[in-house]
Amino acid sequence: MSQSSFEKQIAATEQRYADHSSNRSQNEANLKVGGDWRQVETPKRVMKRLIDLELQELASKLIATEMVTQPIQSAVKQGEEVSLLERIIEEDDLVSSRFLPIGTAVARSVGRITLRQQGRTIGYGTGFLVSPELLLTNHHVLETADIAADSFVEFDFYERQDGTTRPTIIHRFRPRQFFLNDQRLDYAFVAVAPQSDEGLPLSDRGFIPLIAESGKVLIGEPVNVIQHPAGEPQQIAIRNNNITDVIDDFLHYAADTERGASGSPVCNMQWVLAALHHSGVPQRNLQGQILMIDGQVFDGRPENAERIAWKANEGVRISSIVQDVRSKLSADPNRHRIDIFETVIQNRPGTVPRPTVETPVTLTIPAITERSTSLQNYSDEQLDRLNPEEIAQMMSELDANTLEFSLETTSTEPILVAEGDSWFDYAPAGLDIIACLKHFFNYKIYNVSKAGDTLDNMAWGTTFDQRRWQRDRSPLEETLAAIEKHRPPVVLLSGGGNDIAGDELLSFLNHKISGLPPLRSDYTRFMLKDYFLQIFRFISNEIWKKDANIHIVVHGYGYPIPDGRAVIRLLGFSFVGPWLRPALVAKGYEQRTEQQQIMRDLIDDFNSMLEQFAATDSRLHYVDLRSLISDSDWQNELHLKNSGYRRVAGAFNQVIRPLIPS
């Protein structure tokens, strides 16, 4: 690692730490009873964390009451009350008997990197496996592919009961196969030889999955760091670091009592990877010089960098690293490099490391409860009365039953892939088509959908990252990676609703006072018959490039009721909507009958486009929902009640089932 690169990282970290000093004191106050946790964390991240920790009852109360500052009964101190975030932190105190075995399994994938150049050792770092062939460490550890080619990683370098540290296992790096790093986010990925110098397979070591989603740890929660400080035998700092701030691409956590190690994994209390440790805020003397743990002034030599005395640590968020790598690889002509990285990504929260032979871990999948199993026999009225707690429990069980995606296990059952909008991704507001297909019809589905997504963004990516000044990667790329991995016989597509709702709807309408027909015929024809149709063709052709035998199922929408109803408010914030009535009223259409007729005409045109599209190829299948969905099925302007989605899933099942080989 070069001195200049290391010092630049320290300077940038110190600047971020200084800029957010007021944030830390505010965070500390808002973490306590009476504070407003929304000033510390976002509702979405809090909800995800509650579900990850299986606190569905608490999550449902938040949805139902929108409580923010009300105290909550402590889980560990009888008769005492705590704040919401303090209650979540308490859950980290209640570690299960799996904590140490899983931690041991994770530690097997962490190794000491020995840096060599021109035949001599120039320093050490820490790195860890994120797949059976890729290792992650810092840019300032592996600055170039040439350095990586001469260096190696050493596993099982820890002190045994008898005081020895041998035998260890050495694997060489293969940067020609894969090498990618970034100085700003201070990460480096490098391929590792599949066999060690001793002839042992790398695949037996296990790995720590990368999870693309954010929300794996909240401010105030403790984290664990597995490290090789100063090249010494492996050490694990357990619970000595609490998250003090989340700043864009970085996490700050309180200094631990051990010396940090560049390239170490930073995990939450469930051993899910949250960040890549890379730098910190050093202690300085009155002259502003950096101090080492023995009180001496840091001499600037890279080999002494790990002996710096830190007062705060900084890690790079894994979600930011994944996003940055995808952005870089999206323009890479070498498709193999993209495929290597995409096989690493786990998109589901709650992923646990794959157990290894040496330290077996039994993973118990929660059984479906008697109450949720009886949903099969629920009437429409009973299904629509499900409270948020029951919906959250059901979604948690569905995630548990598809845990094999995360654990990379094999299955004889086919796995479908889905990409779409909120009709495929509506939780926690209610059930959706994918949830109903899983629960009521027992399908296994890898879901790439995102509420609010548009056809434009699904196919090509239209969101702009302000921080990186780049267009974000399209969801289709993740869909194609999932297709290559799971080889589904059927792919489900849902899209177009958000392209003709909200502000987009205004573009389809003439103003009533103009005297022209309500729908702009030329614009509507172009958008539906040309542009939308081209998007569906593009997505289908890209799917068939992966596998020409895949069947693709698309669906239209029913006739919505433009009455101004939106999704329920969650955690004190309006979720979304309404989407139809505001645009119609803005263009002068205030009568319910004319509003409904406009939407019927637009929905008919949309369905006509899909019907025309599906008629072009026998591998395309169109589900017409207009006669199936009645006015009473609508929960709000764009979404159905739970019972409505169950019926729609039944229509999907009739199309999908014959397409799956027996």
Q: What is the DSSP string of 463-516?
A: -EETTTTEEPPPHHHHHHHHHHHH--SEEEE--STTTSSTHHHHHHB--GGGTS
Among 100-109, 225-234, 389-398, 483-492, name the most confident range. 483-492
Residue 433 predicted with pLDDT over 80: yes
| Average pLDDT of span 431-446 | 91
Three-state SS at 408: coil
Give the 3-state secondary structure of residue 303: helix
365-659 and 1-364 share a CATH fold: no
Rounded distance between C-alpha atoms, residue 192 and residue 478, angstroms: 24
* pLDDT attached to residue 361: 31
Answer whether 601's CB lies under 8 Å from 524's CB: no
Give the model's confidence band at 54: pLDDT under 50 very low, under 70 low, under 90 confident, else very high.
Answer: low
Query: Cα separation of 549 and 479, whole Å?
Result: 16
Between helix 56-65 and helix 43-52 the angle, nearest 10°, is 150
- Tokens linked to 571: 């955690």
Does position 572 have pLDDT exceeding 60, yes or no?
no
Of residues 229 and 81, more confidence is placed in 229
What percent of the chain is predicted at pLDDT more than 90?
41
Q: Which residues pair with 2 in a beta bridge?
A: none
β 110-117/120-129 pair status? antiparallel
Query: 301 or 199: whose pLDDT is higher?
Result: 199
Q: Is the preceding omega at residue 201 within 30 degrees of 0, hence cis?
A: no
Residue 67 has pLDDT above 60, yes or no: no
pLDDT exceeds cutoff 70 at 487: yes
> Which of 173-187, 454-468, 546-560 comes out lowest in average pLDDT?
454-468
Helix or strand holding residue 70 (H, E): none
Range from 149-163, 252-266, 275-289 carrying the lowest mean pLDDT: 252-266
Alpha helices of 330-474 — where are they, by DSSP H? Answer: 335-342, 370-373, 380-384, 388-401, 404-407, 433-441, 455-460
Burial per residue of 165-174, b for 16 or more beta-carbon CB atoms within 10 angstroms, e otherwise: eeeebbbbbb
- pLDDT over threshold 60, residue 424: yes
Domain spans, the chain: 1-364, 365-659
Counting every residue, how long is the chain?
662
- The CATH number of domain 1-364, selected from 1.10.3720.10, 2.40.10.120, 1.10.10.10, 1.25.40.80: 2.40.10.120
- Rounded to whole angstroms, the Cα distance separating 221 from 269 reads 8
β-bridge partners, 419: 493
Measured CA to CA, the distance from residue 662 to residue 655 in angstroms comes to 15
> Of 69, 73, 45, nearest to 58 (Cα)?
73
The candidate with the shortest Cα–Cα distance to 112, out of 228, 267, 260, 230, is: 228
Q: Which of 377-391, 507-521, 551-565 has the lowest mean pLDDT?
A: 377-391
Asked if residues 473 and 481 have their Cβ atoms less than 8 Å apart, the reply is: no
pLDDT number for residue 213:
77
Better-predicted residue by pLDDT, 226 or 99: 226
Topology adopted by domain 365-659: Rossmann fold (3.40.50)
> What is the spatial distance between Cα 102 and Cα 95, in angstroms, rounded to a whole number?
11
Name the β-bridge partners of 113: 125, 153
Q: Is the pLDDT of residue 164 over 70?
A: yes
Q: What is the rounded distance in angstroms from the CA atom of residue 604 to the CA atom of residue 598? A: 10
| Cα–Cα distance for residue pair 96/444, rounded to 1 Å | 29
The CA dihedral of 250, 254, 260, 262, to the nearest 10 degrees, is 0
CB atoms within 10 A of CB 11: 11
173, 152 contact by CB (below 8 A): yes
pLDDT at residue 133 tops 70: yes
As a whole number, the mean pLDDT across the chain is: 80
Q: In angstroms, rounded to a whole number, what is the distance separating the alpha carbons of residues 584 and 596?
A: 10
The rounded radius of gyration (Å) of the Cα atoms in the chain is: 27
The predicted structure's pLDDT at residue 419: 96
What type of residue is 298? F
Q: What digits encode the pLDDT tens for the residues 271-297?
A: 889 999 988 788 888 888 888 877 888
> Cβ contacts of residue 431 below 8 Å, gap of 6+?
386, 391, 394, 439, 642, 645, 646
pLDDT in the model for residue 641 = 92
The pLDDT score that the predictor gives to residue 521 is 94
pLDDT tens per residue, range 79-110: 676 655 555 555 555 555 567 777 888 889 99
